[in-house]
Structure 1
Amino acid sequence: MFCYKILLVLVASLIVQSRSDTPIEDLLLEEYHDYNALKKLLETFHRSFSNISKLSSIGKSVQNRDLLVFQITDEINRIEPGEPSVKLIANTHGDEAVGREMLINLIYHLLTNYGKDEKITHLINSTNIFIIPSANPDGFEKIKRKKFSCNLNAGLNSNNIDIELNFPDILDANVTSDTLFEGREAETASLMNWILGNKFVLSGNLRQSVLSKLNLNKDNNLFDHLGSQFMTTRPTTNETISCSGVRLNNTSGSMQEFNYFFSHTFEVNLNLVCCKYPQAEKIKTEWQNSRQALINFISQVHMGIKGFVTDFSDSSFLNERAIYGTPIENAVINVALLDHNVTTNVYGDYWRLLLPGTYKVTAWANGFKSEAKLVDVVENQVTVLNFTLKRENQEIPQPTSPPIWCIIITMSWKC
């Protein structure tokens, strides 16, 4: 198969560093990749760039195929407190095949331009990027030998269930923590576990149809902004206009809704070409249209506010970032007049995406008094806003500076 010829060229180019008359990126765009080819490609990418990548599986499909996730960041073997996580997902509908090819090429593009392209290098150094090229591998395997078509209507998984709408419905009174996973498909349950186990800040779901857009009240403008950062970077055509941002009412139980209400993730449907399964030669054009738009979307995670919430009863430093106190996990960050809170990670760090403006932000946690601050959020950058919470019925001790010899000898406060 041609897919395996691609693999041989990749191995020769990436590992042996030989030259090819045809750029590898062009070869990747010549054909759709089935599950086996996708898995081998990702394994090859990881072996060649193991210093900034990790390949893992978040679970199995109904037909026992791995739901593969490719992680890219500069410190791949450790968690960097204060660094936001972004995820991109495609092919939740098996017949929406272009998205999986876009994410395969995005992975390769990010890896091979690290250390060469300034923007990509900065993005990888400051962001934890997770990419799932196919959330419904069984669905794609069903349609891969079908005739190319813009309207296959064959996006379901092997149990004929729409994964996209198989998530818990927040309006269903029967949904509790004990019943959250009842009736979920294997793919859905794996995605839910993954989303709940990782506090993602921003998410993009690559789609190829007229899109739904949730009515998220006071965060609507933020979602519109995030979507526009993707759409306005793409060339404007009649097709992209017809597919962008049509509001539908029937979104209960959707993956986007689950991300927003059950975790603190802002997920945006990113619309590609309307045609779901076009001729393979269309892939290259769509990649040219989407490459910069995808990179621009990922960079939107660096907006709004970020910081640490710590316990000031301990006057030691948190880490090399020189923040007083031990971290408080699951502290709540509330922005006045907005309905959507976020919570801190195990290291006490948080991110809250916000549009430019002045906000009153309050942090609180069980056993601590709340603390409120005013903050000005400016365009195209993130504002640092840290909180040190006082325990109930306890005075905050004033930190004391260590002797000057301690700083000189140890270059730290820990002596």
Structure 2
Amino acid sequence: MKKIVLNLVFFAALILPQELPPGYFLKEHELYFSFANPGKTVLEKLNRMISLDKVTADSVYAYCVEDEFDEFISMGIPWQKLPRPSTLYEARMSSSVEGIMDWDTYPTYDAYVQLMLQFAEQYPSLCKLYEAGTTVQNRKIYFVKISDNAAVAEPEPDVMYSSSIHGDETTGYVLMLRLINYLLTNYGTNAEVTELVNGLEIWINPLANPDGTYRSGNTTVNGATRSNANNVDLNRNFPDPAAGPHPDGKAWQPETLTMTSFMPNINFVISGNFHGGVEVLNYPWDTWVRRHPDDAWLIYISRRYADTVHRYAPSNYLTYLNNGITNGYDWYRITGGRQDYFTYFRRGREITFEISNTKLLPASQLPAHWDYNYRSLLQYLKNALYGLRGIVTDIYGNPIKAKITVLSHDADNSEVFSDSLLGNYHRLLAAGTYTVTVSADSHITQTFNNVVIANQAATYLDLQLIPNNYVPVQLISFTAEKQAGGVLLKWLTVCEVNNKGFVIERSFDGENFESIGFLEGSGTSTTACEYSFIDEKEFQFTVYYRLKQTDFDGGFKYSEVVPVSAAEGNAEFVLLQNYPNPFVEFTNIIFSIPSKGLVSISMFNSLGEEVRRIFEGEKEQGKHYLKFGGEELAGGLYFCRLEFRASGSSEKNASAVKMIVVR
């Protein structure tokens, strides 16, 4: 546990100096003891020396190993040796999977391994077993992943439950095994379970410190220790936001490294860390007096968990401190805890669940504790489906690792990132209205105002980020077509950045243009935007149009020029002048035909030799555009010749225009 309660109260007057028998630590591994509360200043120093377990107004309960004990004794504080919690009675054990699944016994280590394997074997589509690492004594640290497509990573929130990082706090160990079974056996029949399994990727690690739990051997949890086989408290061994990479002054343990290596591979959103020895939910921070930016949300979800428990549990269960919840630092400070590591360095949200006053709970009481908690366990997971969520991609639909920041709110690494492989992000927030920015390397930051979040609801915001070097406005088509009542101009963009709008310009000679209208742009957009404008004047000669795209900062860019012939509306046989002309690499060939027929377009040099067959085939009646690339041609004068023969006719029509290639 992070912190503990025993039904014993030791007042300072009763705590007398003691001595330990020779060889005590060789046999018992660690000492469990108490002493009078010396005040916050001394506790700060002791926090770096021994493993504080529970602090009350009068007393402190703690663990230490031999070198820590020697340092503690040097401070001259009277202390009282206490019985180790895992030695108070004989634990009922089961060595078979069938026996474990009565849920009123503790598994042997081998039976635990067999049960985890069986979950994956019996439910292959819903459950996948992962060996995340090994312990000092080479036991396995297992996770199961439960989801509707367990073998596939999907853009869903990843959530985690983990228990018994303190090896002698075993209530959560059995409850996590039972939760795995409950999710798998109720999928498809229980609506709440089905929603969770379909919508989440649920990772459960029932036993984070196997060496501590089975310190006396694989067949019993009696004699379990808080620490691992190296006598290190794993919940003081993580990098700390305030106290640095090694707050306990010890090397990272294999179990710690397993977690710190495993977590970065999965974009966890929310987590629960199960302990025992007291009954309270402890939310971040443990290391800082200042509050987490999401303090209101952390209180809200903690309160909901506890209040739900209170409806189904005895009146004295989960009522410690603030009726079952507390801020970690307000209780007492620790450093090196996994809760703050997960919340700060992994940018998730983790709460420490202290779920039984007795660390090694009598096995007969395990079913009752399941009944008190299982509804809240499901409810807590469901929090990951709420808040602000969506998928971030680039303009081509590829996922991007982007930073989601809540302005005037986020601090201390509370910003979250979208998943680099899938693009999904999940920002859990209290109800309110927020301004959110989304940013990524080499991409333009986007800002969204008035983002409304409601409790127990999801707000979806999918978006595409635009590269920094991307063309501000990408115009992919611009056409002009004569029709009754004027000329219809139409254009299409697939991306706009800082686009104020389009000035529509007209010319009678293709060189001197005048403004005839303006359409507002879409600002910044990564979706296709269509525009249209009608020039209501009619002309009996060729007219030219272009667009002047303007930015909010005053910049502008012209489109290509599009000509419209007076004959177009009658669907006559016409070959218009190509544009641009002269050209370097590409030019547009525009022609109209009065009916369906065979079309041949060729390019000739100044000697009348055909140098390129541009097109040959059938076309429908109307106006047509062809983009021609002449990058392989030498510079000079050429002729583009159009030949047309209507379907069912032997009569051929022909027309030609001059084309100039510049090199």
For Structure 1 versus Structure 2, the TM-score category normalised by the shorter chain is 0.7 to 0.9
Q: Flag the 1:153–1:103 CA change in 2: closer, same or farther, 3 A.
A: closer
Match of 2:173 among 79, 100, 123: 100
Report the alpha carbon displacement of residue 225 of structure 1 after superposing the two structures with TM: 1.8
1:390 aligns with 2:470: no
Find the counterpart in structure 2 of residue 409 from structure 1: none
Amino acid in structure 2 at the alignment position of 1:228: R
**What CA distance in whole angstroms lies between the structure 2 residues aligned with 1:236 and 1:377?**
35
1:310 aligns with 2:393: yes
Report the alpha carbon displacement of residue 207 of structure 1 after superposing the two structures with TM: 1.6
Find the counterpart in structure 1 of residue 405 from structure 2: 334
Determine if contact 1:91/1:100 at 8 Å carries over to the other structure.
Answer: yes
Find the counterpart in structure 2 of residue 79 from structure 1: 153
Instruction: After TM superposition, list the pairs within 5 Å mapping 1:244-255 onto structure 2.
Output: 244-246=324-326, 247-255=330-338
Determine if contact 2:389/2:425 at 8 Å carries over to the other structure.
Answer: yes
Determine if contact 2:129/2:142 at 8 Å carries over to the other structure.
Answer: yes
TM, length-normalised to structure 1: 0.82
Find the counterpart in structure 1 of residue 284 from structure 2: 214
Determine if contact 1:214/1:251 at 8 Å carries over to the other structure.
Answer: no
Gaps of 5+ in 1: 11-23, 315-324, 402-415
Report the alpha carbon displacement of residue 242 of structure 1 after superposing the two structures with TM: 2.0
**What CA distance in whole angstroms lies between the structure 1 residues aligned with 2:124 and 2:224?**
38
2:256 aligned counterpart, secondary structure: helix
Report the alpha carbon displacement of residue 233 of structure 1 after superposing the two structures with TM: 1.6
Find the counterpart in structure 2 of residue 14 from structure 1: none
**What CA distance in whole angstroms lies between the structure 1 residues aligned with 2:118 and 2:154?**
26
Find the counterpart in structure 2 of residue 52 from structure 1: 126
Find the counterpart in structure 1 of residue 188 from structure 2: 115
Find the counterpart in structure 2 of residue 274 from structure 1: 357
Find the counterpart in structure 2 of residue 371 from structure 1: 446
Report the alpha carbon displacement of residue 270 of structure 1 after superposing the two structures with TM: 1.7
Q: Flag the 1:79–1:275 CA change in 2: closer, same or farther, 3 A.
A: same
Amino acid in structure 2 at the alignment position of 1:307: G
**What CA distance in whole angstroms lies between the structure 1 residues aligned with 2:317 and 2:378?**
22
Percentage of pairs with the same residue:
27
Q: Flag the 1:378–1:60 CA change in 2: closer, same or farther, 3 A.
A: same
2:259 aligned counterpart, secondary structure: helix
1:79-113 CA-to-partner distances (Å, cap 9, x unmatched) read 112x0000000011111011100000000111000
Report the alpha carbon displacement of residue 400 of structure 1 after superposing the two structures with TM: 4.8
Find the counterpart in structure 2 of residue 142 from structure 1: 215
Report the alpha carbon displacement of residue 217 of structure 1 after superposing the two structures with TM: 2.9
Report the alpha carbon displacement of residue 390 of structure 1 after superposing the two structures with TM: 2.2
Amino acid in structure 1 at the alignment position of 2:253: E
**Is the strand fraction higher in 1 or 2?**
2
Q: Flag the 1:281–1:344 CA change in 2: closer, same or farther, 3 A.
A: same
Report the alpha carbon displacement of residue 250 of structure 1 after superposing the two structures with TM: 2.0
Determine if contact 2:160/2:204 at 8 Å carries over to the other structure.
Answer: yes
**What CA distance in whole angstroms lies between the structure 2 residues aligned with 1:109 and 1:147?**
24
Match of 1:43 among 113, 117, 124: 117
Report the alpha carbon displacement of residue 182 of structure 1 after superposing the two structures with TM: 8.0
**What CA distance in whole angstroms lies between the structure 2 residues aligned with 1:342 and 1:182?**
30
Q: Flag the 1:368–1:101 CA change in 2: closer, same or farther, 3 A.
A: same
Find the counterpart in structure 2 of residue 168 from structure 1: 239
Q: Flag the 1:182–1:271 CA change in 2: closer, same or farther, 3 A.
A: closer
Determine if contact 1:95/1:276 at 8 Å carries over to the other structure.
Answer: yes
TM, length-normalised to structure 2: 0.52
Amino acid in structure 2 at the alignment position of 1:245: I
- Which shifted more, 256-265 or 230-239? 230-239
Q: Flag the 1:2–1:242 CA change in 2: closer, same or farther, 3 A.
A: closer
Determine if contact 1:138/1:158 at 8 Å carries over to the other structure.
Answer: yes
Report the alpha carbon displacement of residue 348 of structure 1 after superposing the two structures with TM: 1.8
Determine if contact 1:95/1:143 at 8 Å carries over to the other structure.
Answer: no
Q: Flag the 1:172–1:207 CA change in 2: closer, same or farther, 3 A.
A: closer
Determine if contact 1:213/1:248 at 8 Å carries over to the other structure.
Answer: no
Amino acid in structure 1 at the alignment position of 2:299: D
Amino acid in structure 1 at the alignment position of 2:159: V
Determine if contact 2:214/2:220 at 8 Å carries over to the other structure.
Answer: no
Find the counterpart in structure 1 of residue 67 from structure 2: none
Determine if contact 1:84/1:127 at 8 Å carries over to the other structure.
Answer: yes
Report the alpha carbon displacement of residue 52 of structure 1 after superposing the two structures with TM: 0.5
Find the counterpart in structure 2 of residue 89 from structure 1: 162
**What CA distance in whole angstroms lies between the structure 2 residues aligned with 1:157 and 1:123?**
33
Report the alpha carbon displacement of residue 238 of structure 1 after superposing the two structures with TM: 2.1
**What CA distance in whole angstroms lies between the structure 2 residues aligned with 1:237 and 1:110?**
28
Amino acid in structure 2 at the alignment position of 1:379: N
Amino acid in structure 2 at the alignment position of 1:242: Y
**What CA distance in whole angstroms lies between the structure 2 residues aligned with 1:396 and 1:238?**
65
**What CA distance in whole angstroms lies between the structure 1 residues aligned with 2:157 and 2:167?**
29
Find the counterpart in structure 2 of residue 192 from structure 1: 260
Determine if contact 1:335/1:359 at 8 Å carries over to the other structure.
Answer: yes
Match of 2:105 among 17, 24, 31: 31
Determine if contact 1:34/1:140 at 8 Å carries over to the other structure.
Answer: no
Determine if contact 1:201/1:351 at 8 Å carries over to the other structure.
Answer: yes
1:237 aligned counterpart, secondary structure: coil
1:298 aligns with 2:298: no
**What CA distance in whole angstroms lies between the structure 2 residues aligned with 1:147 and 1:392?**
59
Amino acid in structure 1 at the alignment position of 2:134: K
Report the alpha carbon displacement of residue 297 of structure 1 after superposing the two structures with TM: 0.8
Higher relative contact order (CA closer than 8 Å, sequence separation 6+): 1
Determine if contact 1:94/1:140 at 8 Å carries over to the other structure.
Answer: yes
**Is the helix fraction higher in 1 or 2?**
1
Q: Flag the 1:162–1:237 CA change in 2: closer, same or farther, 3 A.
A: farther
Match of 2:140 among 66, 87, 94: 66
1:242 aligns with 2:320: yes
Q: Flag the 1:2–1:248 CA change in 2: closer, same or farther, 3 A.
A: closer
Match of 1:284 among 367, 385, 395: 367
**What CA distance in whole angstroms lies between the structure 2 residues aligned with 1:37 and 1:146?**
11
Amino acid in structure 2 at the alignment position of 1:58: A
**What CA distance in whole angstroms lies between the structure 2 residues aligned with 1:307 and 1:242?**
38
**What CA distance in whole angstroms lies between the structure 2 residues aligned with 1:117 and 1:72?**
15
Q: Flag the 1:396–1:288 CA change in 2: closer, same or farther, 3 A.
A: farther
Q: Flag the 1:154–1:182 CA change in 2: closer, same or farther, 3 A.
A: closer
Amino acid in structure 1 at the alignment position of 2:427: R
Determine if contact 1:138/1:157 at 8 Å carries over to the other structure.
Answer: yes
**What CA distance in whole angstroms lies between the structure 2 residues aligned with 1:166 and 1:326?**
38
Determine if contact 1:310/1:327 at 8 Å carries over to the other structure.
Answer: yes
**What CA distance in whole angstroms lies between the structure 1 residues aligned with 2:319 and 2:423?**
42
2:231 aligned counterpart, secondary structure: coil
Number of matched residues?
Answer: 365
Find the counterpart in structure 1 of residue 643 from structure 2: none
Determine if contact 1:165/1:252 at 8 Å carries over to the other structure.
Answer: yes
**What CA distance in whole angstroms lies between the structure 1 residues aligned with 2:378 and 2:405?**
29
**What CA distance in whole angstroms lies between the structure 1 residues aligned with 2:387 and 2:173?**
30
**What CA distance in whole angstroms lies between the structure 1 residues aligned with 2:93 and 2:236?**
34
**What CA distance in whole angstroms lies between the structure 2 residues aligned with 1:3 and 1:69?**
21
Find the counterpart in structure 2 of residue 201 from structure 1: 269
Amino acid in structure 1 at the alignment position of 2:227: L
Amino acid in structure 2 at the alignment position of 1:327: P
Q: Flag the 1:84–1:213 CA change in 2: closer, same or farther, 3 A.
A: closer
Report the alpha carbon displacement of residue 300 of structure 1 after superposing the two structures with TM: 1.0
**What CA distance in whole angstroms lies between the structure 2 residues aligned with 1:130 and 1:99?**
15
Report the alpha carbon displacement of residue 251 of structure 1 after superposing the two structures with TM: 2.5
- Which shifted more, 272-281 or 106-115? 272-281
Match of 1:125 among 185, 188, 198: 198
Report the alpha carbon displacement of residue 191 of structure 1 after superposing the two structures with TM: 0.7
